[in-house]
Amino acid sequence: MSITSDRPAAVAAPTGADSALADAKWFDAPGGYTGVEPTQEWADEVRRLAKARNATLLAHNYQLPAIQDVADHVGDSLALSRIAAEVDSDEIIFCGVHFMAETAKILSPEKRVLIPDERAGCSLADSITADELRAWKAEFPDALVVSYVNTTAEVKGLTDICCTSSNAVDVVASIDPDRDVLFLPDQFLGAHVKRETGRDNIHIWAGECHVHAGINGDELTAQANAHPDADLFIHPECGCATSALYLAGEGFVPEEKVKILSTGGMLDAARETGAAQVLVATEVGMLHQLRKAAPGVDFQAVNDRASCPYMKMITPAAMLRCLREGRDEVFVDADVAEKARKSVERMIAIGNPGSGE
Task: Decide: 104 and 113 in contact? Cβ < 8 Å.
Answer: yes
Torsion of CA 41, 42, 48, 54, to 10 degrees: -170
208 binds ligand SF4 (CB under 6 A): no
Which CB sits closer to ligand SF4, 97 or 302? 97
Min CB(237)–ligand SF4 separation in Å:
7
Tell me the binding residues for [4Fe-4S] cluster: 122, 209, 308
311 binds ligand SF4 (CB under 6 A): yes
Which CB sits closer to ligand SF4, 212 or 288? 212
163 binds ligand SF4 (CB under 6 A): no
d(CA 97, CA 277): 30
Q: Which stretch binds ligand SF4 (CB under 6 A): 80-88, 122-130, 154-162, 343-351?
A: 122-130
**Beta-carbon count within 10 A of 321 CB:** 20
56, 150, 152, 243: which one contacts ligand SF4 (CB under 6 A)?
A: 150
Beta strands in 185-329 (DSSP E): 202-204, 231-234, 258-260, 277-281, 298-301
56, 61, 68, 123: which one contacts ligand SF4 (CB under 6 A)?
A: 123
- For the chain, the distance separating the N- and C-terminal CA atoms, rounded to the nearest angstrom, is 30
Torsion of CA 90, 159, 129, 112, to 10 degrees: 0
Q: Dihedral sign for Cα 204, 82, 261, 69, please.
A: positive
Which CB sits closer to ligand SF4, 209 or 322? 209
Angle 173-177-181 from CA coordinates, rounded to 5°: 75
Instruction: Label residue 9 exposed, middle or buried (CB < 10 Å: 0-12, 13-18, 19+).
Output: exposed
175: alpha, beta or left? (left if phi > 0; alpha if psi -120 to 50): beta
122, 146, 168, 184: which one contacts ligand SF4 (CB under 6 A)?
A: 122
Which CB sits closer to ligand SF4, 30 or 251? 30
Task: Decide: 283 and 309 in contact? Cβ < 8 Å.
Answer: no
124 binds ligand SF4 (CB under 6 A): yes
Min CB(286)–ligand SF4 separation in Å:
10
97 binds ligand SF4 (CB under 6 A): yes
List binders of ligand SF4 among 249-308 (CB under 6 A): 283, 308
Q: Dihedral sign for Cα 213, 218, 221, 227, please.
A: negative
Which CB sits closer to ligand SF4, 3 or 290? 290
Tell me the binding residues: 60, 77, 122, 148-150, 165, 209, 235-237, 263, 308
211 binds ligand SF4 (CB under 6 A): yes
Tell me the binding residues for iminosuccinate: 60, 77, 148-150, 165, 235-237, 263
Return residues touching ligand SF4 (CB under 6 A).
97, 122-124, 150, 209, 211-212, 283, 308, 310-311, 357
